[in-house]
């Protein structure tokens, strides 16, 4: 049965009006199945018509419509027909459901640290029928009541307020109405920390083995939560609408977090078992703010259909960074957006699969899933930032408040948003929306200069827009000061039309700047190209520019140049060697080291050239680690870089000593995550075997330990180890989502060229089967396991032939197609 089609959803939305859901779950029936009994009360606008309910059980036990039994055998895929509806209806569906191991539906996890079991539900975007029978589309919202039978030592929470009715019996009261994709239940012997702010009860939850981490992190999590609530209450006229605000940290989650009303879930890696860098804390703060913004964008007002996914994600993403930057201690969040996040969107926008921010013609929910991408998040947020810069805060937030007031508890689409914004701002937002939201691709901005006869002044400077949209930007004008620092002279505000040229008269006759940067401050969505003199300054003095956001824009520019093939891989690595040792923004250090190692070296260089390049990168990381006055955050980032680039015997011996506790670099904890990273390098380099991995796992018997061991085992170079890893990857239902991703991540890190080539061939023969195993498996096998380091014409051909098949799921097709685009870019470097 195909995924729900938009046309079917529209018919059902016109016909049905859902009054309420009552869902009873029995979670005491073993580790494989649980019992789910749902009562749905709903009206039908045209009595006598038929419809259908979505339910995806292991076994459908009983269904009754208005007291009349329906034949369970009539279940067609995940649909049960509902013939002859009355004006008011009651549907009862009882089923045995299977727990998920891929975080799709009700995920069950047994903690290897202490044997305790936990469950949590992931219902988005179309997984709710794996837990209860429902009309699974965003515009059929209703209040939900849950009753849950659970083991006696469990706590059970959900969207509404949770109450313990007796031993092992819980009730979660309704909030809302809410959409089915936003429903969750979290259960297990949970550790909790509670607080209150502005009349709103706050809760933090994690599994028992992470109690110490939760207690340690609670103060910062609550501080960010309070600051974000206050900020949103200042910006929005509508108060937080879902009663209490719980945040649960759950194992093996597929995403960063999910905005379930009143019960946000986060991946519990965000509790940091190992010492984090400041940018990791900043990222977590941004995610907290992002999910809270969803309480308004997505939860209170929900997109009518998945076309308008951007109405959820672009807004939450923009507000997440903005609130983190404006209202928490993480004032540099926009630097991270520039150097870590925008590239995700720029890459997506230059691939064959790009789409407008406001997508159209999204026929099915399966197509929607592939648009949880760099366009809907990074580009959408950047486009909204440009809108705010163009419109001004006052008009923008007046428009949002009108939108909430009009559509609260309901659904909306692009036209509704534009109407509210247009009335509030008095500007022609529809033309703006046509240019920015309904087209795909990225514009390029540059400054053309003509120097005066003496060579030291400018005769003219013109901001040029080679693209199709209007931009309001700032042009940064920088000079070289005594001592070589590059300092800001001024920032010029400039509007430039689509295909337009805007003179910058302030610069005519002025001293020639060392650097002219279009889109200084990163207020728009555009690639930039520098004039020759500015490009020379950037290459010579990147680390001597005083503003970290400016450096971030220029590092992203360098990333773009090397991806576009306008800068050779060696040129990028020279830039890293010259400027990263003096970099002070840890987020830039992390972004650059990762891109240099994982893309430039691992994809763009020939295998023979990689060891030398990694040695050089490792040297840069070591310089950062040893830099006098480096704080702990920088030292952690640098140490990770040293570990991740170690591949020759000499450096592997250093890691070996560190794992033994000898000669450790001072000032940085060499804790679990670093130990597993070091062991991974040793395993891939043939310097550690199964016995060493087993010993490390015995010392760290946690789930992250199990993932570290799986990654290291897959990285062992022997043919036997590769064969075992491959078998595990392609055996359905064997590994959980995170163990699968870890195994895939380790796989290509070693092995002879001949051995690897054999697996490249097998990959394209076998990967189509991954699609049927669900989205999480498709991502692990279609993306993480894609042979991105094997940029050869033969690999490109094999990927093309794979895409020519007709049996790929939409998710798998998108993943393989995007990886193929990147592979072609890598091939231009390898030619
Ligand atoms: Zn989101």
For the segment 668-723, what is each residue's pLDDT rounded down to a tens digit?
889 999 999 999 999 999 999 999 999 999 999 999 999 999 999 999 999 999 99
Please report which confidence band the pLDDT of residue 667 belongs to, taking 50, 70 and 90 as the band edges.
confident
102 vs 798: CA distance, rounded Å: 28
Pairing of strands 526-529, 443-451: parallel
Q: For the residues 111-122, what does the mean pLDDT come to?
A: 98
Peptide bond into 324 cis (omega under 30): no
pLDDT of residue 433: 93
Question: Can you tell me the distance from the alpha carbon of 656 to that of 678, in angstroms, rounded to the nearest whole number?
Answer: 8
Place of tokens 């859901």: 21
C-alpha of residue 132 to centroid of ligand 1, in Å: 23
- The C-alpha atoms of residue 344 and residue 381 are separated, in whole angstroms, by 12
291 part of the active site: yes
Quick one: average pLDDT of 64-77?
97
pLDDT attached to residue 656:
97
CA of 320 to the centre of ligand 1 (A): 9
- Alpha carbon of residue 17 to chain centroid: 34
Task: Compute the mean pLDDT over every residue in the chain, rounded to the nearest whole number.
Answer: 96
Please give the distance, rounded to the nearest whole angstrom, from the Cα atom of residue 340 to the centre of ligand 1.
Answer: 17
% the chain with pLDDT above 70: 100
User: Which whole number is the average pLDDT over 110-139?
Assistant: 97
CA of 312 to the centre of ligand 1 (A): 7
Question: Distance (Å, rounded) from C-alpha 696 to C-alpha 704?
Answer: 12
Is there a contact between 228 and 327 (Cβ–Cβ < 8 Å)?
A: yes
SS (H, E, C) 447-465: EEEEECCCCCEEEEEEEEE
Q: What angle do CA 585, 590, 593 make, to 5 degrees?
A: 120
For residue 211, give the nearest of 110, 108, 109, 113 by alpha carbon. Answer: 113
Expressed in angstroms and rounded, the spacing between residue 376 Cα and the centre of ligand 1 is 10
The CA 367 to ligand 1 mean position distance, Å, reads 18
Tell me how far the alpha carbon of residue 349 lies from the centroid of ligand 1, in angstroms: 19
Measure the CA–CA gap between 637 and 627, rounded to whole angstroms.
13
pLDDT at 1: 53
**How many CA atoms within 13 Å lie on the side-chain side of 421?**
21
Q: What is the DSSP letter of 732?
A: T
Task: For residue 720, count CB atoms less than 10 angstroms from its CB and return exposed for 0-12, middle for 13-18, buried for 19 or more.
Answer: exposed
Place of tokens 């034949």: 71
Cα separation, 421 vs 409, whole angstroms: 19
* Residue corresponding to tokens 């400041």: 278
Q: How far apart are CA 556 and CA 571, in angstroms?
A: 14
Cα(316) to ligand 1 centroid in Å equals 6
> In percent, how much of the chain has pLDDT > 90?
94
**Per-residue pLDDT tens for 360-378?**
767 788 877 888 899 999 9
Task: Return the pLDDT at 2.
Answer: 65
d(CA 222, CA 200): 12
Letter string b/e over residues 769-780, b meaning 16 or more CB atoms within 10 A of that residue's CB:
ebbebbbbbbbb
Structure-derived torsion over alpha carbons of residues 523, 526, 532, 533, reported in degrees to the nearest 10:
0
Burial 422-461, CB ≥16 within 10 A → b, else e:
bebbeeebeebbebbbebbebbebbbebeeeeeeeebeeb
* Mean pLDDT along residues 68-77: 97
Tokens read off for 674: 């670093």
62 bridge partner residues: 94
Q: How far is the CA of 252 from the centre of ligand 1 (A)?
A: 18
Which residue, among 97, 412, 107, 428, has the nearest Cα to 252 in the 3D structure?
Answer: 107
pLDDT one-digit tens code per residue, 321-350: 999 999 999 999 999 999 999 999 999 999
CA distances from 199 to 91, 229, 242, 616 (A): 37, 11, 12, 55
Please give the pLDDT value at position 423.
87
Strand order in the sheet with 117-122: 105-110, 117-122, 185-188, 155-158
CA–CA separation, 124 and 122 (whole Å): 6
Helix axes 672-684, 737-747, angle to 10 degrees: 40
Taking CA atoms, 377 is separated from 315, 317, 392, 540, 724, in Å, by 8, 6, 21, 33, 37
| 294 Cα–ligand 1 center, Å | 7
Tokens 């051909």 found at: 797
How close is the Cα of 264 to the center of ligand 1, in Å? 11
Distance 692 CA to ligand 1 centre (A): 40
Distance in Å, CA 122 to ligand 1 centroid:
14
DSSP assignments along 165-203, one per residue: EETTEEEE---S-B-GGG--EEEESEEEEEEEETTEEEE
Ligand 1 centroid distance, CA of 496 (Å): 31
Over residues 2-23, mean pLDDT: 94
Alpha-carbon distance values, 219 to 194, 210, 215 (Å): 11, 15, 8
Distances (CA, A) of 172 to 157, 164, 168, 512, 718: 7, 9, 13, 67, 52
pLDDT over 80 (residue 570): yes
Q: How far is the CA of 309 from the centre of ligand 1 (A)?
A: 9
Section 581-587 average pLDDT? 98
Which listed residue (291, 317, 583, 590) is catalytic? 291
Nearest to 589 by CA among 638, 541, 547, 659: 638
- Is the pLDDT reported for residue 449 higher than 60? yes
Token pair for residue 257?
């977090």
Report the 10 Å Cβ neighbour count for 235: 17
In this predicted model, what pLDDT tens digit does every residue of 486-504 receive, in sequence order? 999 999 999 999 999 999 9
Q: What is the spatial distance between Cα 598 and Cα 596, in angstroms, rounded to a whole number?
A: 6
Q: Which residues of 680-710 are buried (b: 16+ CB within 10 A; e: fewer)?
A: bbbbbbebbeeebbeebbeebebbbbbbbbb
Question: How far lies 416's CA from each of 9, 312, 359, 368, 573, in Å?
Answer: 19, 14, 15, 20, 48
The tens digit of pLDDT for each residue in 479-488 reads 999 999 999 9
Residues 6+ apart with CB under 8 A from 278: 330, 586, 587, 633
Nearest to 125 by CA among 372, 323, 353: 372
Specify which residues 185 forms β-bridges with. Answer: 158
CA of 257 from ligand 1 middle (Å) equals 7
d(CA 339, CA 525): 13
Asked whether residue 280 carries a pLDDT value surpassing 80, the answer given is yes
How far, in Å, is the centroid of ligand 1 from the Cα of 297? 9
Counting every residue written for the chain, the total comes to 831
Q: Where are the beta strands (DSSP E) in 413-530?
A: 443-451, 458-465, 471-480, 486-496, 501-503, 515-517, 526-529
- Pick from 746, 709, 706, 697: nearest CA to 726: 746
pLDDT for 455 equals: 85
**Rounded CA gap, 248 and 257, in Å?**
9
């Amino acid at each position: 049965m195909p995924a729900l089609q938009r046309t079917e959803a529209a018919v059902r939305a016109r016909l049905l009006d859902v009054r309420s859901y009552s869902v009873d779950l029995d979670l005491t029936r073993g580790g494989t199945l649980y019992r789910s009994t749902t009562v749905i009360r709903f009206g039908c606008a045209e009595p006598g018509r038929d419809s259908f309910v979505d339910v995806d059980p292991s076994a459908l036990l009983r269904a009754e419509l208005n007291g009349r039994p329906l034949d369970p055998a009539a279940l067609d895929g995940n649909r049960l027909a509902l013939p002859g509806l009355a004006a008011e209806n009651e549907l009862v569906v009882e089923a045995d459901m299977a727990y998920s191991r891929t975080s799709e539906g009700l995920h069950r996890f047994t903690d290897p640290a202490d044997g305790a079991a936990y469950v949590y539900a992931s219902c988005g975007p179309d997984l709710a029928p794996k837990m209860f029978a429902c009309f699974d589309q965003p515009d059929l919202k209703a209040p939900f009541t849950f009753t849950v039978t659970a083991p006696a030592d469990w706590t059970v929470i959900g969207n509404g307020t949770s109450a313990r009715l007796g031993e092992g019996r819980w009730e979660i009261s309704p909030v809302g109405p809410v959409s089915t994709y936003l429903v969750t239940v979290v259960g297990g012997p949970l550790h909790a920390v509670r607080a209150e702010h502005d009349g709103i009860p706050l809760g933090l939850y994690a599994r028992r083995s992470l109690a110490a981490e939760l207690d340690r992190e609670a103060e910062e999590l609550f501080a960010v939560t309070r600051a974000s609530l206050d900020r949103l209450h200042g910006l929005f006229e509508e108060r937080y609408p879902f009663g209490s605000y719980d945040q649960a940290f759950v194992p093996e989650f597929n995403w960063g977090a999910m905005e379930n009303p009143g019960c946000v879930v986060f991946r519990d890696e965000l509790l940091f078992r190992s010492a984090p860098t400041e940018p990791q804390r900043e990222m977590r703060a941004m995610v907290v703010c992002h999910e809270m913004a969803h309480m308004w964008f997505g939860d209170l007002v929900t997109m009518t259909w998945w076309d308008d996914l951007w109405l959820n994600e672009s807004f939450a993403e923009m507000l997440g960074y903005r609130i983190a930057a404006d209202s928490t201690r993480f004032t540099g969040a926009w630097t991270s957006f520039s150097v870590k996040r925008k590239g995700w969107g720029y890459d997506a926008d230059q691939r064959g699969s790009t789409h407008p921010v406001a997508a159209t013609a999204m026929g099915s929910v399966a197509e929607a899933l592939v648009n949880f991408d760099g366009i809907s998040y990074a580009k959408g947020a950047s486009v909204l930032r440009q809108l705010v810069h163009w419109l001004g805060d006052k008009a923008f937030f007046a428009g949002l408040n009108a939108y909430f007031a009009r559509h609260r508890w309901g659904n909306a689409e692009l036209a509704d948003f534009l109407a509210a914004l247009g009335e509030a701002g008095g500007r022609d937002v529809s033309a703006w929306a046509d240019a920015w939201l309904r087209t795909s691709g990225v514009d390029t901005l540059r400054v053309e200069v003509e120097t005066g006869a003496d060579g030291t002044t400018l005769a003219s400077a013109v901001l040029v827009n080679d693209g199709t949209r209007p931009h309001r930007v700032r042009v940064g004008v920088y000079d070289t000061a005594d001592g070589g620092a590059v300092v800001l002279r001024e920032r010029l505000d400039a509007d430039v039309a689509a295909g337009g040229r805007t003179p910058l008269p302030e610069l005519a006759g002025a001293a020639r700047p060392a650097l002219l940067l279009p889109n200084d401050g990163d207020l728009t969505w555009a690639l930039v190209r520098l004039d020759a003199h500015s490009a020379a300054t950037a290459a010579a003095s990147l680390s001597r520019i005083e503003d970290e956001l400016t450096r971030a824009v220029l590092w992203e520019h360098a990333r773009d140049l090397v991806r576009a093939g306008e800068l050779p891989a060696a040129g990028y690595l020279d830039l890293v060697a010259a400027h990263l040792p003096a970099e002070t923004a840890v987020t830039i250090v992390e972004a650059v080291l990762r891109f240099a190692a994982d893309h430039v070296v691992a994809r763009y260089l020939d295998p023979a050239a990689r060891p030398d390049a990694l040695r050089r990168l490792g040297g840069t990381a070591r310089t950062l680690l040893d830099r006098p006055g480096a704080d702990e955050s920088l030292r952690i980032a640098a140490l990770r870089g040293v570990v991740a680039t170690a591949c020759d015997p000499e450096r592997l011996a250093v890691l070996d000593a560190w794992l033994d506790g000898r000669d450790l670099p001072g000032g940085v904890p060499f804790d679990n995550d670093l130990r597993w990273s070091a062991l991974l390098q040793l395993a891939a380099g043939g310097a550690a075997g199964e016995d060493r991995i087993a010993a490390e796992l015995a010392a760290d018997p946690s789930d992250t330990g199990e993932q570290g061991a799986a990654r290291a085992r897959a990285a062992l170079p022997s043919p036997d180890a590769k064969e075992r890893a491959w078998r595990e990857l392609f055996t359905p239902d064997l590994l959980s989502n995170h163990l699968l991703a870890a195994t895939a991540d380790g796989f290509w890190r070693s092995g002879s060229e001949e051995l690897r080539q054999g697996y490249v061939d097998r990959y394209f023969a076998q990967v189509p089967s991954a699609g049927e195993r669900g989205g999480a498996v498709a991502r692990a096998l279609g993306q993480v396991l894609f042979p991105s380091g094997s940029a050869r014409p033969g690999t490109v051909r094999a990927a093309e032939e794979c895409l020519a098949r007709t049996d790929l799921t939409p998710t798998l097709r998108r993943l393989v197609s995007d990886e193929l685009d990147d592979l072609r870019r890598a091939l231009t470097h390898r030619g």
